[in-house]
Structures are given as C-alpha cells and as structure tokens.
Chain A
Amino acid sequence: MIFWKLFYTFLIIGAFTFGGGYSMVALIQDQVVTHHGWLTAQEFTDILAISQMTPGPIGINTATYAGYTAVANAGYPAWLAAAGSLLASLAVVAVPVALMLLVCRYLSRYMDHPRVAAMLRVLRLTVVGLIAAAALSLLTAESFGQTGLNRQFIVSLAIFAAVFVATLRRKASPLTLLALSGLAGWVAYGL
C-alpha cells in the first residue's frame, strides 16, 4: 500500500535528519529515489529546484512534492495524490515535533549533558558529509549532459561554476541565481 509506505518512509526521513534541509536531501534521495524508486534522479533534481524557488522549508517542500508525484506515478487520481502529499508532509514533521515538545517539557536540562554534547558534536561533523554526498549524487549525466565537448555539458559546467562561486564569495540569494540559471538554460538551448 503506497500510502502506508509513504507515511513511514517520511516518518523515518524526518526522524533522522540533523542539521536542516540540506542534510535531508541525502536521506530523501536514498529513500525515495534509490530505495523505493518513486522518483527518477532527474525528477528529484527538478523538485529540489522548485523547492528552492518556493517559500518554506526545503524538507516540507520536498516531502509535499515527492508525496504527490509518488502517488500520481503509481497511477492514482489527482485528489489521492494530493492526500499523499499532505500525508508525507505530516509524516516528515511528526517525530521531530513530538520529540521537541518532549524536550521542551521534560528534558531540556539534559541538553547540556556532556554525552549529549559530544553526540551533537559528532553529528554536526557527519552532517557536512551527508550534504557532500547529496551534492555528489546530483552530479549526473541526467543533470549535466554526457561528459565531453558538447553544448549541454559545457553550459552545465559554466552554470555550476558560476552559481558555486557566487554563493560562496558573494552570498547571492538562491532565488536570483536560479532565475539567472533558468534564463541561461532557455537562452542556451532554446534560442
């Protein structure tokens, strides 16, 4: 049953995400693309692009979109797919919210415990690796074109380099960079 699978998959994704939306990308990719095959790698990259251009947390946006697409791809009608997207969004926040309330109410004094602090220190380092893995998995032929001296690969590399440098050096906003990249794609491939 796709709805039950969708629910517990996003429940697990939410429960194991430390360090914000970008580290969730690695988890969603592993579960939704590699493990369940609900989305292709390219669909997943498109969802990431869309969720970076729409308001809201990336984790929620991706869960909403992946929930809808997974159910629609399985052949269900649109209203059931919409229900799937709500289910996935609810599931992704369920465990963290419950845990957060528990901590606020009973456990806040344990947050400074040396063992908890050491655990968070190691997790913070690990999350950087998780995000690196997510970025590496996005460097595919579907996104960049076949390696070599062809138009798509060269344009893709130029866009990648420009966005990378502009983010690190100039702290440019993702929205502006995506708008420019989309325009560049349209100019390079369409005109």
Chain B
Amino acid sequence: MVKYCELFITFLKVGTFTIGGGYAMIPLMQHEVVERRRWMDAETFLDVLSLSQAMPGVFAVNMATQVGYRLRGVRGSAAAIAGNVLMPIALVLLIAIFFRRFKEVPAVEQVFMGLRPAVAALIAAPVFTLARSARIGWSNCWIPLAAALLIWLLGVSPIIVVLAAAAAGWLWGRAENRNLKTKR
C-alpha cells in the first residue's frame, strides 16, 4: 500500500518543479505516477486527466485529488493536494511580502513594464491554440465570441456566462436525446 508521505513527497516534487501553470505539470506527473512509481497505468492516467478537465477548479489540484483518492482514499487525496500546493503557496507568499518593498526600486518597475505586455500575449496565445483543440468552426464560433463580448464589452460577470453556458448545454443535450429517441 502506498504511504501517505510517498504521495505527499511525489506531489511536492511535481508542484515544485513545474513552472507555468497546471498543464505544464502533466508530463512530470505522468513520469512520476505512471513510469517511476507505477501507481497506475497510462490509460487510467488519461481517465484521471479527462475527468480533471471536465470538473471545475484548479486543474493540477483536481489531478492530485484524484490520484490521491484512487490510491489511499480521502486522506490520500489530502496528502497529494498538500504536497502539490505547499511550495507554490510558500514561494508566492514570500514574494508577496517582499515585492511591495521592491516596487519602489526603479529597475524593478522597468522590468515589470517589459513583463506586462508579455503577460497579455501569454494569455492571448492560448485562445488560438484552444480554438483549434475545441474544434471551433463557422457553425459554433458565435459561442466563444458572444462570451468574450458579453464579458469584455458589456461587463457581464463570467460567472453568469458560465452558468448560462452550462444551462444551455444541458438543455441542448436533452433536445438531442429526444431527437435520438424519436428517430428510433
């Protein structure tokens, strides 16, 4: 049986050595969980991955929750989550404490003047890669366009947009289901 501390340390490693968000964690997590520790096979890992994408929340934490739960139940998932977020939280907290003082240094402000447009580009780029993987075409491109314009131009809260999208998808699924049944 997998020990709690093994789970904790494995996810501590994954959480500490991946920079750039949840998806950057996938290769290292797969290496540790599937290849090195052999806690699950690659197929199960893919199931864990797709369920983590389907659920709300922080992607990497969803992964940790599931892997921990499958191996050692609720406590296992707690150990995996704690390991996963410990270093990121500690590090960002330290930066938050000291950054407020460094902000007065002119060189720091100059570096951040260079970083700000870069951050906008880093967030704009995935819009196009995701559009490809979500198979956005002429027939359905109005959905992301409407969502973006509602939030950006009209100031509608993203929460409302997400709720409306979930409700619309649910009703659409029901309509599809009925169509299938009447065809039969």
Interface residues of A (CB under 8 A from B): 12, 14-27, 30, 34-35, 42, 45-46, 48-61, 64-65, 68-69, 72, 78, 81-82, 85-86, 89, 92-93, 95-97, 99-101, 103-105, 108, 111, 113-139, 142-144, 152, 155-157, 159-164, 167-168, 173-175, 177-178, 181-186, 188-190
Residues of B within 8 Å of A64, CB to CB, are: 88-89, 92-93, 96
Using A60-B88, A189-B110 as known contacts, say yes or no to A123 and B165 having CB atoms under 8 A apart: yes
Structural contact, A16 and B122, CB atoms closer than 8 A: no
What are 17 A-B residue pairs whose CB atoms fall within 8 Å in the complex?
A15-B57, A25-B123, A30-B151, A45-B120, A46-B116, A52-B19, A55-B15, A56-B84, A60-B85, A78-B97, A93-B85, A103-B51, A122-B143, A122-B165, A128-B136, A129-B145, A143-B119
B151-163 to A contact mask, C-beta < 8 Å, 1/0: 1100101110111
Q: A93-B61, A117-B173 are in contact. Are A123 and B20 (CB under 8 A)?
A: no
- Check A104 against B70 for contact (C-beta < 8 Å): yes
Q: Is B30 an interface residue (CB 8 A)?
A: no
Rounded to whole Å, the gap between the CB of B67 and the closest CB of chain A is: 10
Say yes or no: A54 contacts B169, CB within 8 Å: no
Given known pairs A26-B151, A89-B89, the reply for A96 and B57 (CB within 8 Å) is yes
- The A/B interface has a contact count, at CB < 8 Å, of 373
Dominant secondary structure of chain B at its interface with chain A: helix
Bound Cα distance A163, B118 (Å): 6
Number of interface residues of B (CB under 8 A): 94
Question: Are A186 and B107 in contact (CB-based, < 8 A)?
Answer: yes
Bound complex: CA A61 to CA B148 (Å): 24
Q: Is the interface of A mostly helix, strand, loop or mixed?
A: helix
Q: Write out the residue numbers on chain A whose beta carbons fall within 8 Å of the beta carbon of B65.
A: 96-97, 100-101, 104
Q: Quick one: given A60-B85, A101-B69, are A175 and B19 in contact (CB under 8 Å)?
A: yes
* B117 and A156 within 8 A (CB): yes
Query: Given A122, A139, A162, which contacts B172 in the complex, CB threshold below 8 Å?
Result: A122
Q: Is the CB of A20 within 8 A of B21?
A: yes
Residues of A within 8 A of B177 (CB): 114-115
